[in-house]
């Protein structure tokens, strides 16, 4: 049995092992970059965040703190707390990107204050602030998933947390879809 596992691990690309060992650090760098980048845009460049940008911040900022505490305490379980936040962040950012590209019309919530379709930056013709946020949430999600793979599979805490997070994430995704489709 262990020979099969060793053969399987030897056939994986070297990047897998690197991500498993350093996924938490990569997620931390991405989260702090996104957090400080959003503060730079709003406080230095004076770009007022729209409502969807605020939701993305609400999801990103705790990831930066949870990731830092998780690394300082050598808590591999921190990835379990980060994953739902990054998944929800991907949904909000993805919706925001699609809204900016005209796939959705702005909801009433986006019509108050700064319009969610506003583009403060447009690097290379497609990189907007929501695209940067989506990239950050994707990096955090993949890096946290890789770090989680390095944790022992038979950990009972891990199974309990996953059993609790999956239904909660499903319910939150359903409510997010309801909010998105509501006009």
| In the chain, alpha helices (H) | 2-10, 14-39, 51-72, 78-100, 108-111, 129-149, 156-181
- Tell me the pLDDT tens digit for each residue of 59-115: 999 999 999 999 898 887 888 899 999 999 999 999 999 999 888 777 776 777 888
CATH of region 16-148+155-181: 1.20.1550
Residues composing the chain: 183
In the predicted structure, residue 52 carries a pLDDT above the cut 60: yes
List Cα–Cα distances, 116 to 36, 109, 142, in angstroms: 21, 9, 27
Strand partners, 127: 123
Whether pTM exceeds 0.85: no
Distance CA 88, CA 95 (A): 11
Distance CA 86, CA 147 (A): 14
Q: Output the pLDDT for position 165.
A: 66
């Amino acid at each position: 049995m262990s020979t099969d596992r060793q053969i399987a691990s030897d056939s994986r690309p070297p990047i897998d092992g690197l991500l498993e060992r350093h996924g938490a650090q990569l997620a931390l760098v991405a989260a702090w970059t996104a957090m400080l980048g959003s503060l730079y845009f709003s406080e230095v460049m004076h770009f007022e965040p729209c409502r969807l940008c605020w939701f993305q911040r609400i999801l990103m900022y705790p990831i930066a703190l949870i990731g830092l505490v998780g690394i300082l305490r050598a808590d591999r379980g921190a990835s379990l707390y980060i994953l739902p936040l990054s998944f929800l962040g991907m949904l909000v950012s993805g919706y925001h990107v699609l809204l900016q590209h005209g796939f959705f019309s702005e909801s009433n919530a986006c019509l108050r204050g700064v319009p969610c379709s506003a583009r403060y930056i447009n690097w290379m013709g497609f990189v907007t602030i929501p695209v940067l946020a989506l990239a950050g949430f994707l990096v955090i999600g993949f890096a946290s998933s890789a770090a989680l793979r390095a944790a022992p599979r038979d950990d009972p805490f891990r199974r309990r947390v996953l059993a609790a997070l999956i239904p909660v994430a499903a319910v939150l995704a359903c409510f997010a879809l309801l909010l998105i489709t509501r006009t």
